[in-house]
Amino acid sequence: MYSWRLFKDTINPVSTALGLSIDDTLPLSLAQHGSPPILHLYIFKPSAIVGKYQDIEAALRLDRCRNSEIEYNRRSTGGGTVIMGPKVVALGLGIGINQPGLKKGIGGIFESLSAVLTKALRDLGVNAGFRPKNDLEVDGKKIAGLSAALETEKAILFHASLLVDFNIPLMLDIMNQPPLKLYDKGYNCFSQRITTITEQLGHDIEMERVVEAIENAFSQKFGASFEKDEPDTWEKKNIEDFITRRYTNHDWIFSHKHPRSKMGMGEFKTPGGLLEIYLSLAGNTIEHIIITGDFFSTTKDINLLESSLKWTSAKRDKIEEHLTEAWKEDMIYGVNVSTLTEAIEKAKENLVTI
């Protein structure tokens, strides 16, 4: 058994600038400084963090963030917006792409690291599983988000956020969502799509217990022991550099390197009832989709269909292809792939640039 380094603090929430700068230093330290893998487990001050190539002004209501003293920033890994805070475990991992036990390729890396987090959640009593579009879920509800970036030659930065508890009203207040008609509908939509460790267990749990479970799951998966550590002088210099160059730099936070964001809503009457589709696109990719209406289905099946479309092309033939792959008989009573595709096309017709 050999040692990995562990940077851990679940008592003192950190600023987005500090937390993200430490994370960016992790793969750099492996690639250029000879460090073994480093696991960083911590909590942020209340904050909203967008993906590297997201339009922050389209993703967030920045005035609401400022009024509510919610920090906002841009991370260096992909994916969408995450809302962080003292009850969300932030995980940064610097790991070599040739690390024994880590599967190869993009899909393999997500699969391996998801398996570790799934094990940690199961050890805590939460029956989580991997959702193939890079989220962890329980009965179709998202409980953790994952993202990654290959910034150096041989090491990646992997990010995860695990929801121990979550404030849906805050999320609805500070995020630009597709134009849901009613606040209550918005709340219901998201409460049916997101869950937390606390909700699953039915009682509160200490953050320390959650991070210990994560630590143990990594130890078992990679045959490593952890040595609690903190950044050394070389790493501190890089952290300061990232704080200056990226996370307190207006040009980084408000970067214009992103696809155009568009949102829209569409309705389509079917024999199974009315389908309402709320759609957010990043360029021609579906970033977010909500399928709702007055039809008969299950939360799990609807979330499965939505997941099959997230981060895929918004072209009609691709939508049809991905829905067909995910489709099972009577997923939505009285609706088939063709009518669901048509409803999504209606939402596309009504897209407006944010």
Task: Point out which residues bind other proteins (CB under 8 A).
Answer: 51-53, 76-79, 100-110, 112, 115, 133-134, 145-151, 257-259, 282-285, 311-313, 315, 318
Provide, rounded to whole angstroms, the least separation between the CB of residue 53 and other proteins.
Answer: 4
In this complex, which beta carbon is closest to other proteins, that of residue 3 or of residue 284?
A: 284
Residue pair 305/291 in contact by the 8 Å Cβ criterion = yes
Provide, rounded to whole angstroms, the least separation between the CB of residue 329 and other proteins.
Answer: 26
Beta-sheet strands, E only, within the chain = 2-14, 38-44, 47-50, 71-74, 82-84, 88-96, 129-131, 135-138, 141-150, 155-163, 224-228, 261-270, 273-282, 285-293, 352-353
In this complex, which beta carbon is closest to other proteins, that of residue 83 or of residue 332?
A: 83
In this complex, which beta carbon is closest to other proteins, that of residue 134 or of residue 336?
A: 134
In this complex, which beta carbon is closest to other proteins, that of residue 53 or of residue 187?
A: 53
DSSP string for residues in 25-51? HHHHHHHHH----EEEEEEESSEEEE-
In this complex, which beta carbon is closest to other proteins, that of residue 25 or of residue 270?
A: 25
Question: Residue 275: how many CA atoms within 13 Å on its side-chain side?
Answer: 29
In this complex, which beta carbon is closest to other proteins, that of residue 47 or of residue 261?
A: 261
8-state DSSP, 159? E
Provide, rounded to whole angstroms, the least separation between the CB of residue 229 and other proteins.
Answer: 27
How many other β-carbons are positioned within 10 Å of the β-carbon of residue 244?
12
The one-letter amino acid code at 41 reads: L
Residue pair 284/315 in contact by the 8 Å Cβ criterion = yes
Provide, rounded to whole angstroms, the least separation between the CB of residue 216 and other proteins.
Answer: 18
Provide, rounded to whole angstroms, the least separation between the CB of residue 289 and other proteins.
Answer: 14
Provide, rounded to whole angstroms, the least separation between the CB of residue 36 and other proteins.
Answer: 19
Q: What angle do CA 161, 93, 107 make, to 5 degrees?
A: 80
In this complex, which beta carbon is closest to other proteins, that of residue 153 or of residue 204?
A: 153
Residue pair 32/77 in contact by the 8 Å Cβ criterion = no
| Residues facing 316 on adjacent strands | none
Provide, rounded to whole angstroms, the least separation between the CB of residue 273 and other proteins.
Answer: 30
Q: Cβ contacts of residue 39 below 8 Å, gap of 6+? A: 4, 5, 6, 7, 8, 91, 92, 93, 214, 215, 218, 226
Provide, rounded to whole angstroms, the least separation between the CB of residue 284 and other proteins.
Answer: 6
In this complex, which beta carbon is closest to other proteins, that of residue 257 or of residue 328?
A: 257
